[in-house]
Amino acid sequence: MSATVDRPFLSDVQELRRRSREQIQDGALTSNYGGDVHETIDILQNVLATEILCVLRYTMHAISAHGIDSEAVKTEFQEHAAEEQQHMMLVAERISQLGGIPNFNPDGLSTRSAAEYGNATELVDMIKENLIAERIAVEHYRELIRYFGNDDPATRVMLEGILCTEEEHANDMLDLLSSREH
C-alpha cells in the first residue's frame, strides 16, 4: 500500500544546481526557506539583546558579589556569563547568515531585551535576579522554538541548544538560592 505524495521528496538535482549558481549571492538563504527572513532577523535582534544583557548582568554580579560564601557563586556567575556570550555569538552569526547585521548598539538594549539588567547588591538578590532572567529566557525560547517550527529548522535547532543551557542555568540558580535561604 503506497501513500500518494503531493510533492516529490527528492529534489531535481539539476534544478538545485542551477538555482544555487544563479542565487549564489544569497549565501545560506535558499529559495525553500520557509520563514519571513526580515521578521526572523527582527526577532533574533531581540534575542541578541537579551543575551548581551545577560552577559553584562552575570559579569557585573561576578565582579561585585561579596560575602563569606561568595567565591563559589562568583565562579558560577562567571561560567554563566561565558556561556551567555557563546549564545550571543551564535545568535549574531545566525542574523548574519540570514543577511542581517547584528545590532550590538547599546542604545535601546534594555528595551529590546526580554530580560532585565537588575540592580541587586546583595548575593541572594543577585541569584534571584539571575533566576528570574533564566526563567524568562526559558519561556521565551520555548515560545520561539514553537514559532519557528519547520519554517526555519536551523534557527529552531540553535534556539533548542540555547534553551538546554538556559534550563541548566535556572537549575543552578535555584540550587544556589535554596542553599542560602534555609
Assess if residue 2 is contained within a domain: no
Domain count of the fold of the chain: 1
Model confidence over 41-83: pLDDT tens digits?
999 999 999 999 999 999 999 999 998 889 999 999 999 999 9
Assess if residue 39 is contained within a domain: yes
Q: Is residue 103 within 8 Å of residue 48, measured between CB atoms?
A: yes
Give the CATH number of the domain where residue 146 resides: 1.20.1260.10
Q: For residues 174 and 18, what is the distance between their CA atoms, to the nearest angstrom?
A: 54
Mean pLDDT of 78-107: 97
Q: For residues 167 and 58, what is the distance between their CA atoms, to the nearest angstrom?
A: 16
Model confidence over 125-150: pLDDT tens digits?
999 999 999 999 999 999 999 999 99
pLDDT over 70 at 173, yes or no: yes
Q: For residues 85 and 108, what is the distance between their CA atoms, to the nearest angstrom?
A: 19
- Global confidence as pTM: 0.87
pLDDT over 80 at 158, yes or no: yes
Residue-range definition of the domain harbouring residue 122 = 34-180
* pLDDT tier for residue 6 given thresholds of 50, 70 and 90: low
Assess if residue 27 is contained within a domain: no
What pLDDT is recorded for position 21?
81
Assess if residue 103 is contained within a domain: yes
